[in-house]
Amino acid sequence: MARVWSFTKYQLRDYRTAVLVFYLVLAVIAAFILAINGRVEGQASLSGGSIIFVFVIGLNCFKSSFLFAQANNISRRVFYQATLLSLVGLGIIMGAVDMILDAALQRLPIYLGLFEQLYGKAPLAKGLWTTASLVFAGSLGWMITMIYYRSSNLWKVVVSLIPVLISPALSLLNWLSNGRLTFSLFAFLKWAFGFAGESPNPYPAVLTFLAGSVLIWAINAVLLYRAPVKG
């Protein structure tokens, strides 16, 4: 377990520069929001950027760390556990920072966080939702980069085309089902993210993010098994 914690700290240090640059950019944007407060109408929000950022971190967390681990005789099991813990830790840390940043800026009438726009004010639920969404985003990026790593050149093209083909495929299936597919899909998404009731409820979304993360971790364990070492 000592090796897992050691490599987890190594990976968190590897994320450090990117995280600092990200929050430096957010600080500049926050200063701009403060400067224009009361001069323009509408609402500003910095929420949501962290989800994209952590997703990008996930996309870049695998190859170089995996090759470093293999060069230093670190087992795939240790590497897998450390990567998982580092992404969970990053989600918790950035979730806490985002909560503090939102709390400071929401004193301004021009500012409203993403969570508040979706669900209203609920501090405890917001902390859980923010952390769960960040962990899911990082895990998803990790899975995508592993899929590309394990794929041949042909399969990389196939994987890249899948998002492009999803929309026309869904449109065709929706037409064949006389619109029932779209209705069922939207009903499921509303239920999964807490919009099916009379008022939005963030807790189903928290469970959805966590369940999605666990599923992704299981897929990643399979992808990592016997993953070849290649430059």
- Residue 37 pLDDT exceeds 80: no
| Residues linked to residue 199 through DSSP beta bridges, in sequence order | none
Q: Quote the radius of gyration of the chain (alpha carbons, Å).
A: 20
Give me the chain's average pLDDT, please: 88
Return the ∠ at Cα 101 (arms to 119 and 92), rounded to 5°: 75
The H-or-E segment that residue 219 falls in is helix 202-224
> Which token pair is 19?
């995280």
CA-closest candidate to residue 46, choices 107, 92, 113, 103: 113
> Which token pair is 214?
């666990």
Q: How many CA atoms lie within 13 A of 204 on its CB side?
A: 14
In this predicted structure, what is the pLDDT of residue 46? 74
Q: How many Cβ atoms are within 10 Å of 8's Cβ, its own excluded?
A: 20
Q: pTM of the predicted model, to two decimals?
A: 0.91
Amino acid at 123: P
* Per-residue pLDDT reduced to its tens digit, 10-33: 999 999 999 999 999 988 887 887
Return the ∠ at Cα 77 (arms to 72 and 80), rounded to 5°: 90
Question: How would DSSP label each residue in 169-216?
Answer: HHHHHHHHTTTHHHHHHHHHHHHHTT-SSSS--HHHHHHHHHHHHHHH
* Per-residue pLDDT reduced to its tens digit, 67-125: 999 999 999 999 999 999 999 999 999 999 999 988 888 877 777 888 988 998 888 99
- Residue 136 pLDDT exceeds 60: yes
In this predicted structure, what is the pLDDT of residue 32? 81
Categorise residue 45: left if φ over 0, alpha if ψ from -120 to 50, beta otherwise: beta
b/e string for 157-170 if b means 16 or more Cβ within 10 A? Answer: eeeeeeeeeeeeee
> Which token pair is 80?
């897998």
In this predicted structure, what is the pLDDT of residue 126? 94
Distance CA 86, CA 91 (A): 9
